[in-house]
């Protein structure tokens, strides 16, 4: 599954009409064939990017309950309401996946906070952000899966937002992006969280863009021939990006017809100087930098010739945001 960009655009105008009076009726307000309902707010349109989530939810639930749910049988089918608490400050993300889990289990979610909102729990220690109503056995069956999705997503969105703030503080025109180094089977969740946090998710998969890395070049024989072979197969519809370790490699790639060059593992000063030279000579090319970019170093790589900075720091080794779901009593 990947993103449905057209679906998100189609629903954008409708979602922009949502106001704060809908915050407590999110389940009834948002309906989409592409995704379950989610919390309203400026990031609500992102839910329309998502493919149908039921197949993923079925896999996640089956992993946690492959046979009998003994604890669920203990609490039985009585109806309960549980409150979702955020217990760590951060950006709320992953709401469509949380919704999808409980929608699959015939529970109703009502959001008290919007996806993309920064939840500050510094004074209270925890903050209620949603309620979930349904059979007790279903609430507890979906609890851990839904919390894991929310915690992971919110952690990525929080780090993404931090890097976005670095970009804004530098008044830089380019994009901060993630990478394809995502958790297997979890990519759509992690890429969605990057968008909620305000950064670029980069290519979704091998089919989204042609990226020729060092192994492709070494196997094929040369940058020029690799680019020309790629263009014959991908046609006009896809961009071609080439990973380069030097200015000379980048020039060869651009002369061969590459749309994007990634300058990899250069020091910040060398990278910015090289990027500016390339941008001056090839103004329509996209110049990307990668390698060693973190929250502490990102500002050093931002410059006038740089269009994209990509880093797996956004989504690897990210501290999760803690949530808990407690049945009202």
Q: Which two tokens stand for residue 20?
A: 């704060």
- Long-range pairs for 248-251 at CB < 8 Å and ≥24 separation? 249/223, 250/274, 250/278, 251/278, 251/281
CA distances in angstroms from 136 to 70, 79, 287, listed in the order given: 13, 6, 53
Report the catalytic residues: 181
What distance in Å separates the CA atoms of residue 277 and residue 274, rounded to the nearest whole number? 5
Indicate the DSSP class of residue 326: E
Which is it for the CA torsion 313, 316, 317, 323, positive or negative? positive
Considering only CA atoms, which of 253, 322, 302 is closest in space to residue 281? Answer: 253
By three-state DSSP, how is residue 115 classified? coil
Considering only CA atoms, which of 94, 255, 254, 79 is closest in space to residue 263? Answer: 254
Q: For residue 269, what are the contacts with CB-CB under 8 A and spacing of at least 6?
A: none
Which helix H or strand E contains 260, and what residues bound it? strand 260-264
Q: Which two tokens stand for residue 81?
A: 């309401």
């Amino acid at each position: 599954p990947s993103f449905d960009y057209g679906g998100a655009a189609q629903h954008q105008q409708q979602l922009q009409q949502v106001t704060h009076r809908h915050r407590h009726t999110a389940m009834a307000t948002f309906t989409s064939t592409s995704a379950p309902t989610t919390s309203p707010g400026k990031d609500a349109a992102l839910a329309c990017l998502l493919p149908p989530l039921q197949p993923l939810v079925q896999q996640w639930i089956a992993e946690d309950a492959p046979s009998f749910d003994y604890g669920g049988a203990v609490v039985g089918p009585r109806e309960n309401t549980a409150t979702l608490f955020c217990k760590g400050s951060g950006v709320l993300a992953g709401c469509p996946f949380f919704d999808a889990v409980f929608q699959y289990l015939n529970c109703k979610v009502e959001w008290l906070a919007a996806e993309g909102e920064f939840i500050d729990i510094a004074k209270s220690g925890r903050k209620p952000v949603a309620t979930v109503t349904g059979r007790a056995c279903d609430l507890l069956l979906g609890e851990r899966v839904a919390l894991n999705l929310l915690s992971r997503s919110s952690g990525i969105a929080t780090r993404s937002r931090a890097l976005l703030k670095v970009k804004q503080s530098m008044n830089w025109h380019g994009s901060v992006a993630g990478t394809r180094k995502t958790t297997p089977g979890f990519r759509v969740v992690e890429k969605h969280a990057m968008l909620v946090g305000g950064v670029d998710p980069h290519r979704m998969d091998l089919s989204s863009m042609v990226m020729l890395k060092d192994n492709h070049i070494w196997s094929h024989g040369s940058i020029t021939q690799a680019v020309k072979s790629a263009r014959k197969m991908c046609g006009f519809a896809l961009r071609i990006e080439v990973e380069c370790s030097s200015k000379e490699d980048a020039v060869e790639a651009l002369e061969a017809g590459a749309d994007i060059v990634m300058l990899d593992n250069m020091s910040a000063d060398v990278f910015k100087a090289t990027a500016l030279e390339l941008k001056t000579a090839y103004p329509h090319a996209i110049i990307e930098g990668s390698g060693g970019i973190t929250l502490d170093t990102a500002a050093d790589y931002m410059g006038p010739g740089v269009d994209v900075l990509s880093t797996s720091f956004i989504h690897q080794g990210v501290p999760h945001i803690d949530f808990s779901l407690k049945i009202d009593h």
